[in-house]
Amino acid sequence: MLVVAVCLVQIAFGTLVLIRMVRSARGEKFDPTRGRVDEGAVSVVVPVLDEELRLSRCLDGLIAHGATVREILVVDGGSRDGTRELAARYTARDPRVRFIDASPVPTTWNGKAWGLASGLRASAEAATWILTVDADIAPRPGLIEALIGHAAFTGVAALSIATRQELGDWGEGLLHPAMLTTLVYRYGLPGVAVRDPLRVQANGQCFLARRDVLLATDAFAIAKASRCEDVTTARALAAAGHLVGFYEAGDLVVVRMHANWRETWVNWPRSLTLRDQFTRRQSLRGLFEIAFVQALPLPLLVGLLLARPPGWEAHLLLAVNTVLVMMRLGTLAGTLRAYTRPPWTYWLSPLVDLPVLFALAASAIRRTHTWRGRTLITTGRTS
C-alpha cells in the first residue's frame, strides 16, 4: 500500500507541475520593439555591497543607454573594498552616476531591501520608472528601452526578467540547473503577468516598476525582513491589485551570479525557497512537489531497474517514475536557453536533484543566514 500511496502522490503533484508549465507556456512573449519611451523616463538603482570586482561591467552597460536613463544611483550598504572609488570614477565619466552612502543598514532590514528603499527615496521625482539591477549583471544595448516599452504595451505596473546565466565551473553546471528547475516546477515558465501574490515570479537582478506604485505601496519596506526581497516586493505589488509580469529577454541581459559551485551551494538556497509573509502552506507544498516530482524519480527508477521487484505495484511505480524522469529531461532541454555556454555537466544536473532538495529544506527551517559577513535573521512575520 505504501508503494501505491507514493505513486498516487507523485501522479497528483506531477499533474499539477505539468499543468503549471503548460499553462505558462502560452504566456506573453517579450518583444523588444514595443512601445515608445520618453526621455529621462527611468531612474536606475544599483544596490551594492563590496562589488568592486563586479560593478564595472554593469555600469558600462547602463551608461551606454541614452537619454532614457535619467540617473544611475549606486546605493552602498557599507562596502569595505574599493566600490566607492570605482563609482567615483564613473561619476567623472558620466554625471548621471551618483554614489549614495546608505550605511549603516538598520538591523531590522535586509541590506539589499534597505538599498532599494534608499535609492527610491533619492530618485528624481520626474522619473516615471524605477529600474533596480544587481551589480553582477551585464545590460546590453536597448535593454532599458525594451523593458519600458514592453511594460507600457502590456499595462503591467512592474516586470522582471529571467536573465541569461553565465556559469562559473563544471560544478555550477551541475547545481545551477537543478536549482533553477525547482523554480520552473513550482511556478511555471516566464511570460506571465498576474495579480495573485502566490503565482508571482520575480527576479531582482533586473526589476522594473512604476515609481508612483512603489511609493504608494511601500513595497520595499514590506520586504525589509525577507530573504527573497525581490519576490516579496513583487508579491506586495500584486497584493495591492497591480499586475506584475515576468519574462525572458534573450541576450539583452546576462548575469554571473556566483563565481563557482561552492558559492551557488551556500548562497542561492537562502532565497530560493521563496518563503515570506505571503506564503504559508504553499512553501511546504512546493518542497513536497520538488521531492516527489523532481528529486525522487531518478533514484527510484534506478533502484527499480536494478532490483526488479515483482508485482503490479512495482510496475506502476516504475512507469510513473519513468514518465517523471522523462519530464525532467524535457525540462532540462527547455531551460538550456537560460544559459550562455553551459558546461557539459549541465546534462548531468538531475543527479544532484536530491541534494538540492535537502539544501532547500535546510534553508527553509534555518532562521539565521549569513551573506558577505552580514547576519540575516528571519523574523516571525516572514517565517
Q: What is the pLDDT of residues 343-383, one digit of tens each?
A: 999 999 999 999 999 999 998 887 666 655 566 655 444 33
- Angle at which helices 281-289 and 2-25 cross, to 10°: 100
Give me the percent of the chain exceeding a pLDDT of 90. 75
Which residues, in sequence order, are CB contacts of 157 under 8 Å at separation 6+? 209, 210, 213, 237, 242, 243, 244
Count of beta carbons in the 10 Å neighbourhood of residue 126: 11
H/E run at residue 172: helix 170-187
Torsion of CA 144, 253, 245, 229, to 10 degrees: -100
Query: At residue 47, what is the residue type?
Result: P
- pLDDT of 227 reads 86
* Alpha carbon 337 to chain centroid, angstroms: 16
- pLDDT of 35 reads 63
Count of beta carbons in the 10 Å neighbourhood of residue 103: 15
pLDDT band at 23 (very low <50, low <70, confident <90, very high): confident
Distance CA 172, CA 349 (A): 9
3-state secondary structure of 372: coil
* Alpha carbon 340 to chain centroid, angstroms: 17
Q: What is the 3 state secondary structure string of 125-150?
A: CCCCEEEEECCCEEECCCHHHHHHHH
Q: Does residue 135 register a pLDDT over 50?
A: yes
- pLDDT of 378 reads 56
pTM > 0.85: yes or no: yes
More confident residue, 263 or 31: 263
- Between the ranges 189-193, 208-212, 270-274, where is the mean pLDDT highest? 208-212
- pLDDT of 28 reads 79
* Structural domains of the chain ordered from first start: 30-173+188-257 (3.90.550.10)
Task: State the average pLDDT for the chain.
Answer: 91
Cα–Cα distance list, 216 to 15, 112, 266, 278 (Å): 39, 20, 35, 19
- Section 8-17 average pLDDT: 96
More confident residue, 216 or 31: 216
Q: What is the pLDDT of residues 113-126, one digit of tens each?
A: 999 999 999 999 99
More confident residue, 352 or 108: 352
- Section 241-249 average pLDDT: 95
- pLDDT of 374 reads 60
pLDDT band at 38 (very low <50, low <70, confident <90, very high): confident
- Section 10-29 average pLDDT: 90
Q: Does residue 338 register a pLDDT over 70?
A: yes
Q: What is the CA radius of gyration of the chain?
A: 21
pLDDT band at 201 (very low <50, low <70, confident <90, very high): very high
3-state secondary structure of 69: strand
- pLDDT of 370 reads 65
